[in-house]
Amino acid sequence: MKKNVIVGQSGGPTAVINASLYGVVHEALDRSDVCGTVYGMINGIEGFLNDQIMDMEPLKQSGELELIRTTPGSYLGSCRYKLPEDLEDEVYPKLFEKFKQYGIGYFFYIGGNDSMDTVSKLSRYARKTGSDIRFMGIPKTIDNDLVRTDHTPGFGSAAKYVASTVREIAVDASVYDNKKSVTIVEIMGRHAGWLTAASVLARKFEGDNPVLIYLPETAFDPDRFISDVNEALEKAPNLVVGISVGLNDGKGTFICELASDVGVDTFGHKMLTGSGKYLENLVKEKIGVKVRSVELNVSQRCSSAMLSATDQKEAVESGAYGVKCALEGETGKMIGFARVPGEEYRVDYVAEDVDLICNQEKTVPLEWITGNGSDIGQEFIDYAQPLIQGSVKVPEKDGLPLFAYRK
């Protein structure tokens, strides 16, 4: 007997989260021998609770599904809805009653750490109640902080955007090379500095900008920072510095908290911004050279202009592999990437226990951070470069990218 499929997206958008959606939907529609209707959740699990779903098959018939593959953002919409820790909460039987109502046998959730928490809770409740629904997580995060996977879809394209943008900023800053200046580039990364570390890929030669790079994995000392900047300005009159938004003193205080009040989101995470501006003012006060801060902000999350072909390909394949695993009986798993040793870059897809992934965080290895906390080593470059390779031709109309959107 055929069982219906449902897929949702959660958390922040990326350049390739829709490519994973394409992978899930395309594979499920191709397996019409065992899969019935393929539904999409509008605004994730929160929308599903309000019966906000759509049939995905018409998108294949209209050609919209192919367009989704190169569309950034979250086509189905997203949410930041946290399921209760207590599996006795009334929301769980309500959800499973809705699964029964729609004939759901296969559930796929595309997202990061908090999304894997949702998959874990639903699969544990299913085990507890004897439900045979299969729950699978498809990884997504530009933060690259999911454990038990070499990397995550979304990171490669975001890293390519960061490296390209920082290289362009460095070119811009070098125009007035007869006067000293400092440009501070603030990059996303609360506790894991993978994306900021990618700014090292912008260098064209040894000693090139960004000369200094600071990650949240090491304690940040403002006085040492000023000393580093003064020393670097002796060699590079136009200095570019890459920093993570989550820079902290190693004792729990974020640098940006020294400048402004910080709110929290629904998961209790501090909403960080202002680290670059704080350091801009510090350089202005302590050194007195021309200084500005640039906050990449949301533009680094899902730029279609900087799609990595490798990233997009793996996003599609991980979505499709998740469907194959579910149809083979897997549940409570997330699709992980295992890098195959050798000179040529290649990954194998593996189903990892989602209970061992959710609420964990993978940070940049300390041995990859050099320069007494102000630089990135060759190990990271070797790790990251394969992930940004290749470009993707995005369809255009009237000279602008053509994106899919829900009517």
- 226 burial via Cβ count (<10 Å: 0-12, 13-18, 19+): middle
Q: What are the beta bridge partners of residue 353?
A: 333
On the question of a cis peptide bond just before residue 210, with omega within 30 degrees of 0, the verdict is yes
The CA-atom distances, in angstroms, between 49 and each of 105, 126, 259, 331 are 17, 17, 40, 21
232/293 Cα distance (integer angstroms): 17
CB atoms within 10 A of CB 175: 9
Written as six digits, the tokens of 400 are 């602008």
Which is catalytic among the residues 143, 145, 228, 311?
143
In the chain, the N- to C-terminal Cα span, in Å, equals 32
Hey, CA dihedral for 247, 250, 252, 257, is it positive or negative? negative
Question: Who's near 100: CB < 8 A, 6+ residues apart?
Answer: none
Q: Is the Cβ–Cβ distance between 138 and 110 less than 8 Å?
A: yes
Q: What is the tally of helices (H) and strands (E) in the chain?
A: 12, 15
33 is catalytic: no
What are the C-alpha distances in Å from 352 to residues 5, 136, 394? 21, 10, 32
* Number of other residues whose CB lies within 10 A of the CB of residue 9: 29
- Cα separation, 183 vs 170, whole angstroms: 8
Place of tokens 């394209």: 157
Q: Does the CA dihedral 356-357-363-365 come out positive or negative?
A: positive
Full DSSP string of 54-91? EESHHHHHHTHHHHHTT--S-TT----PPPPS-TTSTH
Distance from C-alpha of 104 to C-alpha of 133, rounded to nearest angstrom: 7
Residue 227 is encoded by which pair of tokens?
A: 């000393």
- Tell me how far apart the alpha carbons of residues 361 and 146 are, in angstroms, rounded to a whole number: 6
Which residue type is seen at 356?
Answer: L
Active-site residue list? 143
